[in-house]
Amino acid sequence: MWTQSIDPTGQLWLSALVAVVPILVFLLCLVVFKLKGITAGIIAVVLQVVIAAWPFGMPAESIAGAGLLGILTAVWPIAYIIVAAVWLYKLAVASGRFDVIRASISGISPDQRIQVLLISFSFGAFLEGAAGFGVPIAICAALLVQLGFGPVKAAMLSLVANVAAGAYGAIGIPVIIGAQVGEVGLSGLTLDMVLVLQLLTFAVPFILVMILDGWRGVRETWPVTLGVSAAYSVVQAGILIFLGPELADIVPGLFGMVVIFVIGRVWQPQRIYREDGGDVPAVDKHDFGEVVVAWSPFYILTAVIFVWSIPWFKSLFAADGPLSWLVFSVPIPGVTGAIVPAGSDAPVATAWAFTPVNATGTAILVAVLITFWTTPQLRTRDLWAQLAATVRDLWRPVILIALILVVANIANFSGGSASIGNALAAVGLLFPLFAPIIGWFGVFITGSVVNNNTLFAHLQSVTAQQIGVDPTLLVAANTAGGTVAKVVSPQSIAIAAGAVGLTGREGEILRASIKYSLGMLVFVCVWVFLLSLVMPHAS
């Protein structure tokens, strides 16, 4: 049994500085030295192993176990979900249905500024609420490339667009976990999420248009940009306040698509924007039935994931459910029951969860099979050929994700992540200014707002009580900071690179995206600090 130390050097700031070295080096390798993602990941893993062993004193078997857990998690559920989602997209392309999808999007508007609002912002939010786990980034980025966007721009736009939806993830799970771990009321947390994040959510459509075409683009598209921004934000805020976080992405995403369609029927910008400056491509006309059939893979995906998400289905696999025997919890040597977190008396119970039936990836796989069976244009050889092509395109991104999760797990179980969080918490009354940075760091290393809240929501809540700030505000800040980190999370970057054919060139996407992530982080930090000054303080 080994007990973590979050301050092995005797100076908390120095321990935190040492702990952050692998992440800083990883960023430098990608952004400054322009190394390939896998190369940068290997360097980060080596540094993390060395730092975990010394000065944090983590035993070799625990380092190995934490790394093994990262690899297993990369394969299941993450790689499973990503491969299944991209496989579904490739089948839609191979069947010829995507030509109809592209025509239907262009029929709403040939202007690529509006197409981004439709696909990456609205449809992406819908997919985030239904599936999460990188599905919207992969599918939306690939859709934009098919619509004529450059691969780097398509990936970056889809990453930035995800900020509006990423905080609530699949069926509101990140916020629900944040409330549970942070020991705050769910209704209060959803209200604070509105206060913390809704201004940024409102701004995201304008940011997307500005990325493409600057202020001129905003002036020329303001009716639809303002319309979708206001509609999405108001609907999302209403759902959060009155219903909770479960539908905070799905309904606003659908509503945003409807608003864009309705406005597109009565108004179009005078100048049609195309990224390459070329002519507007001719649009094939298709009847309503053809369009409905063409979009059916995504309807099927949504319907199946909805079934997988309802309480009745989930209860089947609960500990006392009739199908609980299909849920496997695999202990990890050197980790499960072998590490005692700093400040705790109980060893960690973390194990690898293998859920072959109720996994999100299985839901997407079912959607793949239904799509195949209901698409006469596809043959059995097409099904397997597209799977092979998907694996061929994604094996490198999956390796990069595995490397990042190895770094993340070793950092978490060695006490390094807690060291960084506690060092930031030591600034006292200025802590609300830095609280979102902890969330940003949490998502950067884990790629997940859920994991981020699992790591740091309790730290945020306890620190808030110590300095007299409302705990729900800082848990919301942790979630919001994590959301803007998804723009540059190595996992998200790897998924986007694989979807647009830029595997090995992840640094290009990171360099294009990082200024937007950091800019939004600064806004969230300042806004949370101002809110902490005016909101009622904890007693």
For residue 24, count other CB atoms closer than 10 A to its CB: 12
pLDDT given for residue 429 in this prediction: 83
pLDDT tens digit sequence for 77-125: 878 887 888 898 889 889 988 788 878 877 888 899 999 999 999 989 9
Residue positions counted in the chain: 539
**Which helix (H) or strand (E) element contains residue 140?**
helix 135-146
The C-alpha angle 214, 275, 258, rounded to 5 degrees, equals: 80
As a whole number of angstroms, the distance between CA 386 and CA 226 comes to 39
pLDDT tens digit sequence for 354-387: 999 988 889 889 999 999 999 999 999 999 999 9
Amino acid at 429: L
As a whole number of angstroms, the distance between CA 242 and CA 254 comes to 18
Describe the chain by its helix, strand, coil percentages, rounded to 5.
75, 0, 25
pLDDT of 538 over the 60 cut: no
Residue written as tokens 């940068």? 40
**In this structure, is the dihedral angle defined by the CA atoms of residues 528, 529, 534 and 538, taken in order, positive or negative?**
positive
- Spacing of C-alpha 367 from chain mean position: 21
- Spacing of C-alpha 46 from chain mean position: 26
Rounded to the nearest 10°, the torsion over CA 107, 108, 109, 114 is -140
Domain assignments of the chain as residue spans, ordered by start: 100-287
As a whole number of angstroms, the distance between CA 16 and CA 268 comes to 53
Backbone angles phi, psi at 345, to 5 degrees: -105, -15
Strand partners, 531: none
Which is nearest to 412 in space by CA: 460, 359, 456?
Answer: 456
pLDDT tens digit sequence for 279-328: 666 666 778 888 889 888 878 887 887 788 788 998 999 989 999 999 99
Rounded to the nearest 10°, the torsion over CA 539, 480, 168, 109 is 140
pLDDT tens digit sequence for 7-60: 999 999 999 999 989 988 988 888 788 888 889 889 999 999 999 999 999 999
DSSP string, 315-350: HHTSTTSTTGGG-EEEE-TTTTTTEE-TT-SS----
**Between β-strands 328-331 and 339-340, what pairing exists: parallel, antiparallel or unpaired?**
unpaired
Which is nearest to 128 in space by CA: 512, 490, 486?
Answer: 486
